[in-house]
Amino acid sequence: MKILVTGAAGFVPSHLVDLLLSQGHDVWGVDNFITGNPKNIEHLKNNSNFRFECFDVSSAIPSFYNSDLPTVESWEFKVKFDRIYHMASPASPIDYVELPFETLNAGSKATEVCLNRCVEDGARFLLASTSEVYGDPIVHPQVESYWGNVNPIGPRSVYDEAKRYAEALTMAYQRYKNVDTRIVRIFNTYGPRMRPNDGRVMPAFINQAINKQPLTIFGSGQQTRSFCYVSDLVRGINLLMESSVNTPCNIGNPHELTMLELADYINKFTHNEAGFVFKALPQDDPTQRKPDITLAKNRLNWEPSVSFEEGVLKTVEWFRELENN
């Protein structure tokens, strides 16, 4: 198939591109590199089945942070796509503060651009949504039918509400414009190619640990997250795209850890004896996060296969290599 992946140089999307290419598809990638890393797709530069363009999908005029990027009007791939994976968006706590408008636009304008292309091409569309649509949940674990507990004007709202809007837009195109759509709600993911300083807990802990620094724990450390290794995640995303499930679907690992448990594990795993330091919990930081993956198990025949220990080993190895290069 001919497949478009937005945000192709990002952490998760670059792994998805690798998977799609391994299946024999022709893949087109786009990214404006505000959070994506060219090194994530550097290994594909001689792959004849991969084509890449650098521009901002979400803006109809040249981007204010890079006026050299072409406009959407010049986005004229001479191909009819079979699948469009809309994966582009800033997606870390630091990004919400530094790139609020870009985050909002990735969920709104860019989603509409991609959906309109699906109307033109007759392509199937997948939206990369997030567990953040559940906010600070009062239902645990989180099921797809839960509507969430989100602060619509808090500092995280630029991401939460952008994704909630993107989901509403996607369903509107499904209902009223007959676009064949999929929505994946991605839970915490980790693995090689994460940005070292993006503010997410796994790269933060690993970087501090391999540099023999105390790990920074926010709040009491009793808040929980569930971590899915990136290869499991992209396999689930791909299975969802090729399934008949046209309502939101959680993809994540139900293995739940408190931040204290995670910090203790990372310290022991890396032989870091520097311990922890505690800081105030950021506003609207969710107290618990765990996916209910019953839908994915029953309809996609998917569940995580990479153990936490194996995933952490691979991730730590990657960050050590990054430190040494």
Rounded CA gap, 194 and 191, in Å?
Answer: 6
Distance of CA 152 to the CA centre of its chain: 20
Contacts of residue 109, Cβ cutoff 8 Å, sequence gap at least 6: 57, 58, 59, 60
Would you state the structure tokens that stand for residue 258, as one six-digit string?
């408190």
Confirm whether 229 is a catalytic residue.
no
Peptide linkage before 141 cis (omega within 30 of 0): yes
Handedness of CA 133, 136, 140, 145 (dihedral sign): negative
Beta strands (DSSP E) in the chain are 2-6, 26-31, 50-54, 83-86, 124-130, 181-186, 189-190, 215-218, 224-226, 228-229, 249-251, 256-258, 276-279
Catalytic residue among 96, 159, 173, 190: 159
Q: What is the DSSP letter of 134?
A: G
Query: Could you list the active site residues?
Result: 159
